[in-house]
Amino acid sequence: MEDYSGRENLLYNTPENPGESIEECRRKVTDVLKELGADPGNIMFHAIHQIGKTTASSTASTGAAVEESCPPHPRPIIVHFVSRMDCD
């Protein structure tokens, strides 16, 4: 968690679609900012991405099937703002 401090924020429990693009991820972040009353049109991001492995029932790099008993959950989204003021 220390790696994701400062100008970076985490968004949890944001629904995730299989094969989601970075642009879709960015749209989710701007939707959250709008809900918080911010103007996302004036906010600049250094990076937006999801962390962790997907939990979809696909095959892992070893070729073994991902355990079916583990329910899928959305990965957290990392938002790295250019400006600390935007983050605040």
HSE of 81, CA atoms in CB hemisphere, 13 A = 18
Distance CA 56, CA 68 (A): 9
Q: What is the spatial distance between Cα 46 and Cα 82, in angstroms, rounded to a whole number?
A: 5
68 or 52: which leads in pLDDT: 52
pTM, two decimals, is: 0.66
Q: What is the C-alpha separation between 13 and 67, in angstroms, rounded?
A: 21
Question: 56 and 66 in contact (C-beta within 8 Å)?
Answer: yes
**pLDDT grade, residue 31 (50/70/90)?**
very high
pLDDT in tens, 32-67: 989 988 888 888 888 888 887 776 544 344 444 544
User: What is the per-residue pLDDT for 58?
Assistant: 41
